[in-house]
Every structure is written in C-alpha cells, then in structure tokens.
Amino acid sequence: MKRGQNIHRKWLILLPSLLGVCVHAVLLFRNIVMPNALDLNIINALSLVAGLMCIILLLFAIRQPVENLGIVVLPIAALTVFSSSLYQPAEISIDLEVQSHVFFSITAYGLLGLAALQAMVVSVQAHHLHNHRPGGFIQSLPPLNTMESLLFSMLTAGFILLSLSLISGFIFLDDMFAQHLVHKTLLSIGAWFLFGTLLYGRWRYGWRGKRAVKWTMFAFGLLILAYFGSKFVLEFVMLETAVA
C-alpha cells in the first residue's frame, strides 16, 4: 500500500514538473535560437544548463528516488529563463562541429550539477543520521547507501560527458589554449582530473561519505569557474574595460 502511495506521490510531482520543463524549453528556444546564429550569453547558458538539469532529473526520477532535488532545481530553472528574457541578445554563429562540443559541455554541466546537489543532500542526510535525527525531510529519503550509489551513477555519466566535451573541444576548436580559452581549458581539465580521481578512489578504495561530498563539490566548483567564470569575465569585465 505504501509503495503505491509513493508512486502516486511521485507522479503528482513529476507531471507538473514536466509541464514546467516544456514551457521552459519553448521560452529558451525563443531566447537562444536566432535566424542565423545562437544567442549563448551567460544568462542563456545558465538557463540552458538549468533546463537540462530539469530534464535529466525527470529522467532519473522515473526509476530513482531523486524527485526531492526538484525543490532546488525547478525554481533555479524558472529564475534563469525569466532572466534570459531580460538580457540583451548577442548572436554567435556556431559551426555544427562546435555545436557537438557545446552539447557535450552543457549536458555534462547539467548532470554534474545534479550530482553536486545530490552530494549536498547526502551530506545533510549523513549528518542527521549521525546525530540520530532522521525525521522530516530526511525520513522521506531512501537509505544512505542508495543515495550514495545514485550520486556515483550521476558522477560516472557526467565524467563520461565531460571527457567527450574535452575531446571534442581539442578536435573541433582552433586552439583550446588561446588567451580567451586557456583558463576555461585548464580549470575544466582540473575538474576532470578530480572527478576521475574520485571515481577511481570509489572503485579501488571504496571512497564514500564526506570525502566523496568534498571532492564532488570542489570539482564542480572548478567546473563553474571554468565556464561561467570565463563567460562573466569576457562578457562583463573585459567589455567594461574596453568601453572605459
């Protein structure tokens, strides 16, 4: 009986979320796709990552108990798509080969972003269980081992996509170490190395718990700096310097 109630509750959450994702996709398409180019300014890029996080979350939630992450992901997605409609368009022409690199990159960011959120939930859950206070929100979560296994499933898939992103970048971009890309490239490689080391540690030594959470958060922090930090500098700091 309880299992049936949980399934019913899950779909009560997922169906409205699916409707919201569809609306997000339509608005994002209107904001990004231009007649002869794409508008991938920093706000649209954030909105695209948030939208992909929502889609990945819904796909995971069909089989895995991750729908609670929607409490964080869905409001962020709504905020970014609203903000993107207020941002000044900046068309960027992108070749088909480079589009594949962009696809791998943004999908990797979305999946690893979900992994970072999952790591935070695992950390909170472990803290409450350690202090013998598994009530409220924590009580509705699956066992800690299940949550950690799901975390590493997300990390594995995200690591593969990040690897494809780096490989496609080196193949299709003219120079990954050009002045405007070097920080992004080095930070992305650093994040890739940390994620890879964590996954190896999990496979070889059974790493879990606080160590897994810290490595995940630090590696994802590098990834945020790699992409959005670089875009912020290029779109705001350098632009203001040029104007001045």
Work out how many domains the chain is built from and give that number.
2
Mean pLDDT of the chain, nearest integer = 81
Q: Are residues 44 and 98 in the same domain?
A: no
Which of 99, 95, 104, 122 has the alpha carbon at shortest distance from 211? 122
**Domain end call among 33, 59, 81:** 81
Q: Are residues 28 and 102 in the same domain?
A: no
* Alpha helix ranges (H) inside 64-143: 70-84, 96-130
Q: Are residues 153 and 127 in the same domain?
A: yes
- What share of the chain has pLDDT > 70, as a percent? 80
How confident is the model over 129-160, as pLDDT tens digits? Answer: 887 776 666 777 788 898 899 999 999 999 99
DSSP state at residue 69 = G
Domain range for residue 17?
1-81
| Backbone φ, ψ for residue 45 (5° rounding) | -65, -45
**Domain end call among 47, 81, 115:** 81
* pLDDT-based confidence at residue 239 (cuts at 50, 70, 90): very low
- What integer is the mean pLDDT of 63-81? 82
Q: Are residues 73 and 110 in the same domain?
A: no
Q: Which of 63-72, 122-131, 229-238 has the lowest mean pLDDT?
A: 229-238
Q: Is residue 108 part of a domain?
A: yes
* Alpha helix ranges (H) inside the chain: 2-32, 42-63, 70-84, 96-130, 144-172, 182-205, 209-224, 230-232, 238-243
Q: Are residues 124 and 203 in the same domain?
A: yes
- On whether the pTM is more than 0.85, the answer is no
Q: Are residues 224 and 103 in the same domain?
A: yes
